[in-house]
Amino acid sequence: MNSSESTGSIPRWNKVYRHGDLDDWKYPGPALAVLGHPISHSLSPVIHNAALARMGQRFEGWRYFAFEVPVSELAEALPLFHEKGFVGLNLTIPHKVEALTLATSVDPLAQRMGAVNTLIRGDAGFSGRNTDGYGLQEALKQDLKVELAGATVIILGAGGAARAAVVQCLEAGCRKVWVGNRSADRLSELVNVVGGENTSLATFPLSNPPQDLPENSVLINATSLGLKEGDSSPISLSSFPGSLKVYDMIYSPPETALLMEARNRGMHTANGLSMLVHQACQSLAFWTGAAVPVEAMFQACA
Ligand code: NDP
């Protein structure tokens, strides 16, 4: 879709737009959007519009759109979204970190995570929050019956998603949080940023996983290894107890090599779809101030 194609027509939620299309933006109701690059694969419009459709007359005209915004264009795009009256925005790869400096304010949790995935309209611009940690916590509860308070958690990765996971685990009172990553530099950077002094946090090399884990520990894949067809697993599960629960933030493909190995070992597993839905649910609650029907979101992407 380009600017000329949008001329004269009311925007449709099931198309991908570019921020140039905002010059001629004709959507008459309250608009929300996800910004990313690439974005065409995103399930967010489907999930959010399904929930809005169930939220009653007050939200009848609300729509959620997808915009392809390359990294170099975010700074100039955000003021345009504000000018056009967008109520809120979600940010996905590669915008979550840069948005920290572009938001008018950032709430303390998102600040600690070093990433923003939700922008909320204010008078002068958008303020930033992060709902990924909440999404993960709810997903673990729902899919694996894991309560973070008191839990032992092993997190793989040290990028934005891993940071959000580590901060959420520490905030929620995990007993122990182990983090392992391929690159040692990025791992120590994560520890310095999110909790260098915290005695509940420990690191390990992926080739030497922690031993003597308590029953029902949970392992979370927050690396991007598994996204591509034929990707291997970031870690071998051979030294983990059979009671280990395994959550992969990746939901496409629905079963990564890691999840397949876990399933073959009889471990309890789940993929990242539930995290995606729960983070979306909290974002929509922030924008609307209303109760969000999370089951409508799950049905929409089933
Ligand atoms: P980043 O690019 O910030 O981080 C990528 C991480 O993956 C790094 O730790 C990197 O390690 C590691 N990695 C990449 N390739 C390999 C490899 N070949 N072997 C071992 N480790 C590797 O990405 P994000 O943190 O933003 O996202 C991580 C994953 O989480 C993605 O798959 C994303 O789709 C998913 N995600 C899912 C969400 C959901 O709602 N379900 C929400 C957010 C993210 P290194 O430092 O060594 O490069």
Structure confidence by residue, pLDDT tens digits, 191-206: 998 876 888 999 999 9
What CATH number has the domain bearing residue 245? Answer: 3.40.50.720
Helix (H, G, I), strand (E, B) or coil at 67: strand
CA-closest residue to ligand 1 atom 36: 249
**Res 6: pLDDT:** 43
| Statement to judge: residues 181 and 106 lie in one domain | no
**Res 7: pLDDT:** 46
HSE (side-chain half, CA atoms, 13 Å) at 32: 27
| Statement to judge: residues 229 and 121 lie in one domain | no
The structure tokens 């839905």 sit at: 277
| Statement to judge: residues 48 and 148 lie in one domain | no
Residue 290 belongs to a domain: no
Segments of the chain with pLDDT less than 50: 1-7
| Statement to judge: residues 22 and 93 lie in one domain | yes
Residue 29 belongs to a domain: yes
**Residues annotated catalytic, as ranges:** 96
Domain boundaries, position 191? 133-272
**Res 60: pLDDT:** 95
| Statement to judge: residues 209 and 114 lie in one domain | no
Q: What is d(CA 108, CA 102) in angstroms, rounded to the nearest whole number?
A: 15
Residue 1 belongs to a domain: no
Residue 124 belongs to a domain: yes
**Res 302: pLDDT:** 87
**Res 12: pLDDT:** 86
| Statement to judge: residues 150 and 68 lie in one domain | no
Find the 298 Cα to ligand 1 centroid distance in Å. 24
| Statement to judge: residues 147 and 106 lie in one domain | no
CA-closest residue to ligand 1 atom 15: 225
Q: For 68-84, what is each residue's pLDDT tens digit?
A: 999 999 999 999 999 99
**Res 4: pLDDT:** 37
CA-closest residue to ligand 1 atom 38: 249
Q: What is d(CA 287, CA 16) in angstroms, rounded to the nearest whole number?
A: 21
Find the 139 Cα to ligand 1 centroid distance in Å. 18
From the list 293, 294, 249, the residue with the least C-alpha distance to 93 is 249
Residue 7 belongs to a domain: no
Residue 286 belongs to a domain: no
CA-closest residue to ligand 1 atom 14: 224
**Res 2: pLDDT:** 43
Find the 160 Cα to ligand 1 centroid distance in Å. 8
Residue 4 belongs to a domain: no
Find the 158 Cα to ligand 1 centroid distance in Å. 7
Atom of ligand 1 nearest to the CA of 186: 46
Find the 18 Cα to ligand 1 centroid distance in Å. 26
Q: How many domains does the chain have?
A: 2
| Statement to judge: residues 126 and 255 lie in one domain | no
| Statement to judge: residues 126 and 144 lie in one domain | no
Q: What is d(CA 131, CA 137) in angstroms, rounded to the nearest whole number?
A: 10
**Res 96: pLDDT:** 93
| Statement to judge: residues 111 and 139 lie in one domain | no
CA-closest residue to ligand 1 atom 2: 159
From the list 93, 104, 103, the residue with the least C-alpha distance to 132 is 93
Residue 8 belongs to a domain: no
Atom of ligand 1 nearest to the CA of 161: 25
| Statement to judge: residues 115 and 212 lie in one domain | no
From the list 211, 141, 205, 207, the residue with the least C-alpha distance to 176 is 211
Task: Give the number of other CB atoms < 10 A from CB of residue 250.
Answer: 24
Which mutation among 224, 275, 294 tests ligand 1's pocket best, with the greatest number of atoms within 8 A of CB? Answer: 224
What CATH number has the domain bearing residue 27? Answer: 3.40.50.10860
| Statement to judge: residues 268 and 222 lie in one domain | yes
**Res 10: pLDDT:** 82
Q: Which residues are near ligand 1 (CB < 6 Å)? A: 93, 132, 135, 157-162, 181-183, 186, 222-225, 227, 234, 249-251, 272, 275-276, 279
